[in-house]
């Protein structure tokens, strides 16, 4: 043990005549611990929200879509074969998208209608129920339709119920003559899906690709091709290369571009929360500085004796920096353990229920990211170190002659 460490450890021990300084030291440790614990829990919730939202969105949407300038295209079978030559593309499926109205015996509402290939759609969109996809093309009488769970509740539709699909005249590929009647066709509910995203579940409906082409008067044409890639964070790069192989008139959009505003807002909130909660650590750092300053004032005789015995300014500075860093280290350790424990409790026991029509999830999602924890620990220790510099500098510059004169 070095000389500075030995003296610093002695100063950390509580004595009756330094009870007030010890109280400030305890408050400084508690402040650092509480700040680190709160920061870890809040950042874990923010990270969990981003991860949960990404997981649910990728369950209901493709990793990327390939589109054609000027509208849909007909040679989609050949395009899919060429796309699948890319080793990073795991699956591809054609789709048709349009706006529609759904009417049942109990109500009417708007919906986002998607025509899909039941044989391949499940390989790209993971939230679709395989049983519902299998039943989609095998309903008796009217063609089948899959409804989002919330949409089915609005229409009060059950499996086997009949609903009317209404396509406005302008929704069948371009503008139509004024006053033209909309297309209306009955469908039978083949099943339901539930993505966990309220806005999707109350608006999405799926029919087979053939039925969508018939009602939209788009024989042999699709809106685009949805693809699934092996690395979601390279979806943009992979999809652009795939579109480039098809020709100059094709272009791609990945999930990050399609949902850029939502994820950008989440990252901004996470950054702002980190800055706001860092103020708690800053308050604790002031407590550390106060404790060290009061200790310097109470240890003037000790500092004078140490200097008279040959201690250098550097050694005196190290003593008080060591004490301040020990306060910060103990507080950071306790706060980290407390943050882990509280995060584990929140993840296991769902104490807080969130309204599903307001938030993307009904309980607090918690996800501890190693880099977030490391950033919190490092930033806390840096702030604690900075708070020790001024008191340690004052102690190092103390003139021992003045102490001997007044003691």
pLDDT digits (tens, 9 = 90+) for 267-316: 787 888 888 878 878 887 887 888 777 777 766 777 777 777 777 778 87
- 400/284 same-domain check: yes
Residue 94 banded pLDDT, cuts 50, 70, 90 = very high
Chain-wide mean pLDDT for the chain?
Answer: 82
pLDDT (0 to 100) of residue 58 = 82
The pLDDT value given to residue 286: 82
Residue 318 has a CB neighbour count (10 Å cut-off) of 20
Over residues 211-260, the pLDDT tens digits come to 888 888 888 889 999 999 998 888 889 999 988 888 888 899 888 887 77
Do 229 and 333 belong together in one domain?
no
Is 257 a domain residue?
no
Is 255 part of a structural domain of the chain? Answer: no
Does the structure show a pLDDT above 90 at 321? no
Residue that finishes a domain, picked among 248, 281, 306: 248
Residue 137 located in a structural domain = yes
Cβ-based neighbours of 315, under 8 Å, separated by 6 or more: 3, 4, 306
Q: Say if residue 87 is in the same domain as residue 222.
A: yes
Residue 336 has pLDDT above 90, yes or no: yes
Q: What is the 3-state secondary structure (H, E, C) of the chain?
A: CCHHHHHHHHHHCCCHHHHHHHHHHHHHHHHHHHHHHHHHHHHHHHHHHHHHHHHHHHHHCCCEEEEECCCCECCHHHHHHHHCCCCCEEEEEEEEEEEEEEECCCCEEEEEEEEECCCCHHHHCCCCCHHHHHHHCCCCCCCEEEEEHHHHHHHCCCCCCEEEEEECHHHCCCCCCCCCCCEEEEEEEEEEECCCCHHHHCCEEEEEHHHHHHHCCCCCCECEEEEEECCHHHHHHHHHHHHHHHCCCEEEEEHHHHCHHHHHHHHHHHHHHHHHHHHHHHHHHHHHHHHHHHHHHHCHHHHHHHHHCCCCHHHHHHHHHHHHHHHHHHHHHHHHHHHHHHHHHHHHCCCCECCCCCCCCCECCCCCCHHHHHHHHHHHHHHHHHHHHHHHHHHHCCCHHHHHHHC
Are residues 204 and 317 part of one domain?
Answer: no
Residue 341 scores a pLDDT above 90: yes
Over residues 75-104, the mean pLDDT reads: 89
Confidence band, pLDDT 50/70/90 cuts, at residue 406:
low
- Pair 226, 323 in one domain: no
Residue at a domain's end among 198, 224, 248: 248
Name which of 73-82, 139-148, 276-285, 383-392 the model is least confident about.
276-285
If asked whether residues 15 and 157 sit together in one domain, one would say no
pTM: 0.73
Q: Which domain holds residue 212?
A: 71-248
261 — pLDDT class (breaks 50, 70, 90): confident
pLDDT at 10 over 60: yes
- Do 158 and 270 share a domain, yes or no? no
Per the structure, how many domains does the chain have? Answer: 2
148 lies in a domain? yes
Q: Tell whether 65 is covered by a domain.
A: no
pLDDT bin (cut points 50, 70, 90) of residue 3 is low
Q: Is pLDDT above 90 for 46? A: no
Same structural domain for residues 303 and 367? yes
298 and 341 together in one domain = yes
Residues 272 and 351 placed together within one structural domain of the fold: yes
């Amino acid at each position: 043990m070095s000389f500075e460490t030995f003296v610093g450890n002695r100063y950390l021990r509580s004595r009756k005549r330094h009870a007030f300084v010890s109280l400030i030291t305890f408050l400084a440790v508690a402040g650092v611990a509480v700040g680190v614990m709160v920061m870890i829990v809040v950042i874990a919730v923010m990270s969990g929200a981003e991860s949960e939202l990404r997981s649910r969105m990728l369950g209901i949407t493709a990793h990327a879509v390939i589109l054609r300038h000027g509208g849909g295209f007909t040679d989609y079978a050949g395009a899919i074969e060429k796309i699948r030559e890319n080793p990073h593309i795991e699956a591809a499926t054609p789709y048709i998208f349009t706006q529609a109205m759904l009417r049942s015996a109990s109500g009417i509402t708007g919906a986002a209608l998607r025509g899909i290939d039941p044989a391949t759609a499940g390989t790209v969109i993971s939230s679709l129920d395989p049983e519902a996809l299998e039943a989609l093309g095998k309903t008796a009488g009217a063609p089948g339709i899959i409804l989002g769970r919330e949409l089915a509740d609005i229409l009060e539709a059950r499996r086997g119920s009949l609903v009317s699909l209404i396509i406005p005249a302008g929704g069948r590929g371009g503008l139509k003559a004024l006053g033209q009647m909309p297309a209306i066709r009955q469908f039978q509910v083949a099943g339901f899906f539930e993505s966990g995203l309220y806005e999707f579940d109350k608006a999405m409906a799926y029919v087979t690709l053939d039925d969508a082409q018939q009602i939209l008067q788009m024989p042999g044409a699709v809106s685009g091709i949805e693809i699934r890639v092996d690395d979601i964070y390279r979806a943009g790069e992979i999809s652009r290369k795939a579109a480039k192989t098809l020709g100059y008139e094709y272009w791609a959009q990945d999930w990050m571009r399609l949902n850029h505003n939502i994820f950008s807002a989440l990252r901004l909130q996470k950054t702002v929360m980190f800055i706001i909660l860092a103020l708690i650590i800053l308050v604790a750092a002031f407590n550390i500085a106060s404790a060290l300053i009061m200790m310097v004032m109470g240890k003037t005789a000790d500092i004078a004796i140490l200097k008279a015995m040959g201690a250098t300014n550097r050694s005196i500075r190290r003593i008080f920096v060591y004490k301040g860093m020990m306060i910060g280290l103990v507080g950071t350790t306790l706060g980290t353990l407390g943050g882990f424990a509280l995060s584990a409790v929140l993840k296991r026991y769902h104490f807080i229920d969130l309204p599903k029509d307001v938030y993307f999830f009904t309980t607090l999602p918690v996800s501890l990211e190693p880099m977030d924890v490391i950033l919190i620990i490092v930033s806390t220790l840096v702030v604690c170190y900075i708070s020790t510099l001024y008191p340690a500098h004052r102690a190092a510059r103390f003139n021992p002659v003045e102490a001997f004169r007044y003691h």
